[in-house]
Amino acid sequence: MRSTSAAYDGPDMKGTGIFFDGLTSARRAVTVDLRTEAIVVRDVAEGDQFARWPYDELDQLAAPEGVLRIARSGIKQLARLEVRDPALAAAIGAASIPVDRSRATEHRGRLKIVAWTCAAAVSLVLAAVFAVPLLAEHVVPLIPLRVERALGEAVNVQVRTMLDTKNDGGAFTCGASESETAGAAALDRLVHKLEAAAGLPIPLTAVAVRRSESNAITLPGGHIYVFEGLIDNAETADELAGVIAHEIGHVAHRDGTRSLLQSAGLSFLFGMMLGDFVGGGAVVIGARTLLQSSYSRDVEAAADRYGVALMGKVGGDQRALGTMLTRIGGTDHPGMRVLLDHPDTEARVAAINAAATSTSSTPLLEASEWAALKRICAGR
């Protein structure tokens, strides 16, 4: 027969907490051991037992959010224990719910709220870690394009601010000054050729920006940033087009949106429900994710295949993307997501060449247009 009505019957569970003996002001780091009938609190370093509190004698005290603060009921001294680990707190809460209905009525439910609160916290954490990525996979196809565009606009403002480290403002974008407009027209022509063949459900906005990395970034809602360094490194219009075609693959596959949902998932889901993305921390998290994390190999490979097929549709050089990857592969861009610089560049190039079906191609821009495009950021 059990001497207490509340018990812990889960697997061995230990954690840490902070113990106050109620006599001195010392904060003691302790181990918290969930035994069958009581919590045992010991000094982390010395192992001295400070308390042994039966589950049905626990009182929950007021505490800040995220902290379970408990004391033993009915004793005069004010010893208390604080636990911040949600799993441990949930286990304590659950153990303190009486199982014997004939006794301890006054304790019944005392810690029930704690148990539920902690269980909710634990499930939120679990959801964020495990369910959101899965959810994102299934939710993305259901997101209306209008919502994706709103998301893209919100993140776009943030990403631009983060990319524009020299605070150039308007001048951060290439193509506006008098000597650059011909280049901007050439870039537009190149992008529109690809866009027309891609048949995307949303319009693209591709701009060149003054960043020295050989890189390009695609945001949700069809925003593509082509870096000056990429244009500098491209030797032909088709090489640049190959990269842009790869980026269009990310747009078509909605990779940016999925990535955002995975990183800032819950906040974005709430934002979506409320119809407001702007001003939220989720936007900052999302923008940072887009700049710093990279897509999986599979996602990149899918964008490569899309790019190769798209280059075929416009009659361009399907292998140009591979040529470009080989040239810029191995360069290092710390702190910046590098869409193109992947450790297995060779494997990617081989796959690109294997997917290429056409052997002949015509340059996507006239020589004069390409010359102008190479100078799209040269106006200052």
- Per CB under 5 A, the segment of 11-19, 126-134, 264-272, 292-300 that binds Zn ion is 292-300
Beta carbon of residue 295, minimum distance to Zn ion (angstroms, whole number) = 6
* 373 binding Zn ion? (CB under 5 A): no
Q: Residues in contact with Zn ion, total (CB under 5 A)?
A: 3
Q: Are 353 and 319 in contact (CB under 8 A)?
A: yes
Residues 57-76 that bind Zn ion (CB under 5 A): none
HSE at residue 155, side-chain half, CA atoms within 13 A, is 32
Q: Which is nearer to Zn ion, 90 or 224 (CB)?
A: 224
Residues 79-138 that bind Zn ion (CB under 5 A): none
State how far Cα 139 lies from the chain centre.
15
CA distance 370 to 189: 11
Beta carbon of residue 223, minimum distance to Zn ion (angstroms, whole number) = 14
- Tokens in use for 253? 């596959």
CA distance 1 to 7: 12
- Binding characters for Zn ion, 294-323, by CB under 5 A (x = yes): ------x--x--------------------
Q: Which is nearer to Zn ion, 206 or 303 (CB)?
A: 303
Residue of 97, 111, 328, 339 that binds Zn ion (CB under 5 A): 339
DSSP calls for 303-334: HHHHHHHHHHHTT--TTHHHHHHHHHTT---T
Beta carbon of residue 352, minimum distance to Zn ion (angstroms, whole number) = 12
Q: What is the CA radius of gyration of the chain?
A: 29
Beta carbon of residue 188, minimum distance to Zn ion (angstroms, whole number) = 22
HSE at residue 89, side-chain half, CA atoms within 13 A, is 27
Q: Which is nearer to Zn ion, 306 or 370 (CB)?
A: 306
CA distance 16 to 112: 21
Describe the strand order of the beta sheet including 80-83 as a list of residue ranges. 49-54, 38-43, 28-34, 13-20, 80-83, 68-72, 58-61
Determine how many CB atoms are found less than 10 A away from the CB of residue 11.
7
Q: Which is nearer to Zn ion, 150 or 339 (CB)?
A: 339
Q: Which is nearer to Zn ion, 7 or 339 (CB)?
A: 339
- Per CB under 5 A, the segment of 24-32, 107-115, 179-187, 293-301 that binds Zn ion is 293-301
Q: Which single residue brings its beta carbon nearest to Zn ion? A: 339
- Per CB under 5 A, the segment of 181-189, 220-228, 306-314, 339-347 that binds Zn ion is 339-347
Helix (H) or strand (E) holding 80, with range, is strand 80-83
CA distance 2 to 5: 7
Residues that bind Zn ion in the complex, under the rule CB under 5 A: 300, 303, 339
